[in-house]
Amino acid sequence: MDLSIGGLSRLSGVPVKTIRYYSDIGLLPERRRTAAGYRRYDETSLARLELVRTLRELGLDIPTTRRVADRVTEIEAVAAAQAEAADAHIRQLRLRRGVLRAIARGLSRPEEVRRMTDFARASAEEACRTMDDFLSAAFADHEQDPFAAMMPDALPVLPDEPSQEQIDAWIELAALMSDPPFRGRVREMVVEGGRQRAAARLSPTDAATQEAGQAVVDKAGAALAAGIDPASAGAAPIAGELAGFFARAARRADGPEYRAELLAQLERFSDRRVERYWQLIGIVNGWPPQPSRWPAYDWLIVALRGSLHQP
């Protein structure tokens, strides 16, 4: 087989200009030149050109393509490396798509777009640094806080092939952790929570504390489902019963003074965004979904506030 550059182009589908460039840089040496200086190629040239084209279409750069074509580098090793690079690129594209969809749905304020985009572009290592920075700021000087040991163990880890829901959660979580008001709110809760636990000598894992929390979910949740207005007189007995659970956990006498303190405490520590933080981590990590406790606590807050103003 004796082929001109045009004949090689027709057989391979590679443009003449590209073949000439490959020949000029030595990636596709011609087999010989005619007396008039025209390049000639053979079947070996065609096979090499098809290999080069395939490698270039797979994204290999010129130096790597040359090493594989010259059998200096094993193609298996190159293919493995390229596959890893492709996986990383696909992950970034999915995250960027998630950012664009979040913006298109109007879920982000303009000032959040840059933070979301930066996080979506970040590597897994960079994303972990963002989360470590968030936790370090929240628990600074409170490393002995019981939650300080729990939260690093519950960091979100985006899987290699995340669902669209996980991508959306990942991006929303990035915006939340970067939001100064939210960071300040978490810090406030850490500091105040530590102060209150020290004063009352209570633990968040105390059985009575957990019983009180579950009672809110059960009893306030049932009242909410039954359509009982938390500001109505009918809500007062339920609010009183729940206040009693908390009073026993705190080893305090129930009464107007304690209920006022309890109301202030619930208002300080019942934050929808904090619950959303944990929901997002659960989505990213593929944990079983947990029902929201916020509606029940919100009902109790309104009911307690109303009961304190009743004669």
Lowest mean pLDDT among 51-60, 154-163, 297-306: 154-163
Same domain? 227 vs 141: no
Same domain? 206 vs 282: yes
Same domain? 11 vs 53: yes
The answer, yes or no, to whether residue 4 has pLDDT greater than 60, is yes
Tens digit of each residue's pLDDT (9 = 90 or more) over 155-212: 787 776 677 788 778 878 877 888 888 888 888 888 877 776 666 555 555 788 889 9
DSSP calls for the chain: --EEHHHHHHHH---HHHHHHHHHTTSS--SEE-TT--EEE-HHHHHHHHHHHHHHHTT--HHHHHHHHTTSS-HHHHHHHHHHHHHHHHHHHHHHHHHHHHHHTT-S-HHHHHHHHHHHHS-HHHHHHHHHHHHHHHSTT-TTSHHHHHGGGG-----SS--HHHHHHHHHHHHHHT-HHHHHHHHHHHHHHHHHHHHHT--TT-HHHHHHHHHIIIIIHHHHHTT--TTSGGGHHHHHHHHHHHHHHHT---SHHHHHHHHHHHHHH--HHHHHHHHHHHHHHTPPP---SHHHHHHHHHHHHHHHT--
Lowest mean pLDDT among 57-71, 133-147, 240-254: 133-147
Same domain? 307 vs 216: yes
The answer, yes or no, to whether residue 123 has pLDDT greater than 70, is no
pLDDT value of position 149: 65
Determine the structural domain holding residue 37 and report its residue range: 3-69
Q: Considering the domain boundaries, does residue 30 fall inside one?
A: yes
Q: Which carries the bigger pLDDT value, residue 91 or residue 62?
A: 62
Which residue, 129, 147, 179, sits at the end of a domain? 179
For residues 241-259, average pLDDT:
91
Same domain? 110 vs 139: yes
Q: Considering the domain boundaries, does residue 139 fall inside one?
A: yes
pLDDT value of position 265: 87
> If pLDDT is split at 50, 70 and 90, which confidence band does 225 have?
very high
Same domain? 107 vs 60: no
Average per-residue pLDDT for the chain:
82
> If pLDDT is split at 50, 70 and 90, which confidence band does 21 have?
very high
Q: Considering the domain boundaries, does residue 189 fall inside one?
A: no
Same domain? 224 vs 270: yes
pLDDT value of position 230: 95
Q: Considering the domain boundaries, does residue 284 fall inside one?
A: yes
Which residue, 179, 212, 235, sits at the end of a domain? 179
Same domain? 114 vs 214: no
Which residue, 69, 98, 114, sits at the end of a domain? 69
Q: Which carries the bigger pLDDT value, residue 140 or residue 10?
A: 10
Domains in the chain, number? 3
The answer, yes or no, to whether residue 252 has pLDDT greater than 70, is yes
